[in-house]
Structure 1
């Protein structure tokens, strides 16, 4: 699928310079930039959807962890301890 993108002179020159430095085509630089952007935004949307689902579940059942419980568990994981997530409670 061919798509055209209009760039202002400054951005076009920056892309061309980066392409030269990286020994790539301007097309490759733009395609990679768009791919990275789309992947990042898809992850952001998935995170937001997960958060909304978690909020909905909490509103329905009241189950949760306190900040202290979550911090303690995450500290163990960060230290390399294979700790199970604490049980949610109301």
Structure 2
């Protein structure tokens, strides 16, 4: 971690989950604390990416609604097919 202040946070787990976490930590030769930090970090990073994707989609929808510019599915498929074949081409221009 960087020089950020680290403060403890409590989390309530039932006995079954605590036991599962302890078994997994032992199998991985890690502490339950380490596993929980990794799980939270992975979750937050994944959800931040999901939210960024959602925000991009909302912006794209607004841009389409205001301009009407788009590609048809056939145009997009043809462009993607060229990329799959190794041709580094620009996307086709959008139209209304």
Q: TM-score, normalised by structure 1?
A: 0.91
Q: State whether structure 2 residue 95 is matched by structure 1 residue 86.
A: no
Offset of residue 77 of structure 1? 2.4
* 2:52 counterpart residue number: 46
- How many matched pairs? 90
More helix by share: 1
Q: TM-score, normalised by structure 2?
A: 0.86
Taking the aligned partners of 2:83 and 2:70, their CA distance within structure 1 comes to: 19
From 11, 17, 31, the counterpart of 1:11: 17
Residue segments in structure 1 that go unaligned for 5+ positions in a row: none
Taking the aligned partners of 2:84 and 2:40, their CA distance within structure 1 comes to: 33
Offset of residue 80 of structure 1? 2.8
Offset of residue 34 of structure 1? 0.4
Residue segments in structure 2 that go unaligned for 5+ positions in a row: 1-6
Taking the aligned partners of 2:16 and 2:84, their CA distance within structure 1 comes to: 44
Offset of residue 60 of structure 1? 0.6
